[in-house]
């Protein structure tokens, strides 16, 4: 087993980092999947906007698997990378890692594919620069 298998690391660029709060959780203190997905959408959009040099909109989200729950107070880090750039679309892969409050350990929570399209001021598709 190589060191990379023993200590997995995030892929992509740290694009968004936040902390889960009590309002983002169910009664057991675990973060709602929808909240986590919205953070991923924001992270992917930040990357896509920088590539598009302007406004983008989400047009598709690929499958997601949640590997472990996120508890309140965890630092949630979204890493994004562009995996495909088309004429007007940008496909991103977003990974979410959390840092455990008590140990500082970083663990992967989920990943998902988000597709964005560059749009103009009227909301119409436009080519990427």
Question: Residue 84 and residue 11: Cα distance in Å, rounded?
Answer: 15
Please, are residues 44 and 94 in contact by the beta-carbon 8 Å criterion?
A: yes
CATH classification number, 3-118, choose in 3.60.20.40, 3.10.129.10, 3.40.630.30, 3.40.50.720:
3.10.129.10
104 has pLDDT over 60: yes
Q: What would the two tokens of residue 24 be?
A: 């983002």
**Whether pTM exceeds 0.85:** yes
pLDDT, tens digit (0-9, with 9 covering 90-100), for 22-56:
999 999 989 999 999 999 999 999 999 999 999 99
pLDDT of residue 72: 87
Q: Where are the alpha helices (DSSP H) in 21-65?
A: 33-52
Average pLDDT rounded to a whole number, residues 94-99: 94
Instruction: List Cβ neighbours of 127 (8 Å cut-off, separation of 6 or more).
Output: 87, 88, 118
């Amino acid at each position: 087993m190589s060191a990379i298998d023993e200590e997995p690391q995030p892929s992509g660029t740290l694009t968004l980092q936040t902390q889960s709060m009590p309002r983002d959780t169910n009664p057991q203190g675990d973060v709602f999947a929808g909240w986590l997905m919205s953070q991923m959408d924001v992270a992917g959009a930040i990357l896509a906007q920088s590539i598009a040099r302007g406004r983008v909109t989400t047009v598709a989200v690929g499958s997601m698997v949640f590997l472990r729950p996120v508890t309140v107070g965890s630092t949630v880090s979204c890493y994004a990378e562009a995996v495909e750039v088309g004429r007007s679309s940008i496909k991103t892969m977003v990974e979410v890692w959390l840092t455990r409050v008590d140990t500082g350990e970083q663990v992967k929570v989920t990943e998902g594919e988000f597709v964005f399209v560059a749009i103009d001021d009227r909301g119409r598709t436009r080519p990427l620069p």
